[in-house]
Amino acid sequence: MSVPSSLKVGPNTTLFLAKKRYLILYILLIWISIYTIQFEFWLFWIVYEIEKYVHFYLFLPLLIFVMYLSAIFISLIAAKVMLIIVNLIHKPREGVFLRHKSDKDYRYWSLRSVIKKWPLWISHKFPFPFMNNICLKVFGVKTKFSNSLFEGFVDTEFLSIGKDAIVGQGSVIQSAVIVGNLFIIRKTVLEENIIIGAHSIVMPGTHMKKNTILAGSSMTTVGQELEEGWVYLGAPAKKYKKNVFFEDELEHIIAAQIEKEIIPEKKLEDLYTMRKDQDTKIK
């Protein structure tokens, strides 16, 4: 519920590597959003004369709230315009690239990350869960407003999320990763009704089909395909059991199961030795 700084969650752009040369755009975005606040405050000052201090102070908290929201939206619009221009110059694409400044794709990915950083940071500095969905939608991620992405760390491009997805606390969903000197971008697809447990990591190129659960502290591999209607567990994630928890009228059965004491020593046999699939499907 509370997200302390030590958990370091939030939809900051993943693997953000600040490049000094792009910081001018970042500062420009901050300038634009603060200028908006300044302009609104000036307008408020003119409308409400300072002598009418009761009105002035009464509506000031609400104005600060509105100023905060408008700062987010203005920076979002400015960032979107910048992104359109950048994407016209060089279209973002999937693939395996070199993690070096000579690589054009890597350079432009860094540039896109720098542009997206400020609006996402400012929107995540207040606990409005829907703000993240708005930001991600503006940046081109296919997502629904019902999705719960607030507690996790979600990438901002090459990502498609179906409806009613839940991303757990401190989990990471990425579509780009750096491995040694290589830089990989793969499209991650999460279909509807998926649940990603706390502290789990979804690597680029993962395809989670609908009604899939990735249990807590688990990890998928690059390009892994998770079959429909299964609970996956482990690092790398493997089939654990069939996901029957989307069936109707199971309240009493689950309530009875929850009362039973689980002895992990017995369960560990299943967890570590008797996995249901021997070969994980990797594209």
> Within positions 181 to 200, which residues make up the interface with another protein, using CB under 8 A?
195-199
171 counts as binding another protein under rule CB under 8 A: yes
168 counts as binding another protein under rule CB under 8 A: yes
Pick the binder of another protein from 254, 281, 282, 283 (CB under 8 A): 254
152 counts as binding another protein under rule CB under 8 A: yes
Interface positions, 43-62, toward another protein (CB under 8 A): 53, 57-58, 60-62
* Residue number, 90 or 275, with CB nearest to another protein: 275
The CB-of-157 to another protein minimum distance in angstroms stands at 21
What does the alpha-carbon distance between residue 281 and residue 222 come to, in Å, rounded to a whole number?
11
Do residues 27 and 114 make contact, with C-beta atoms less than 8 angstroms apart?
Answer: no
Q: How many CB atoms lie within 10 A of CB 50?
A: 7
Interface positions, 64-123, toward another protein (CB under 8 A): 64-65
**Contact stretch for another protein (CB under 8 A) within 78-86, 110-118, 176-184, 232-240:** 232-240
Provide the strand spans (E) within the chain. 95-98, 153-154, 159-161, 166-167, 172-173, 176-179, 182-185, 188-190, 195-196, 201-202, 207-208, 213-214, 225-226, 230-233, 238-242
* Residue number, 112 or 152, with CB nearest to another protein: 152
What does the alpha-carbon distance between residue 282 and residue 151 come to, in Å, rounded to a whole number?
28
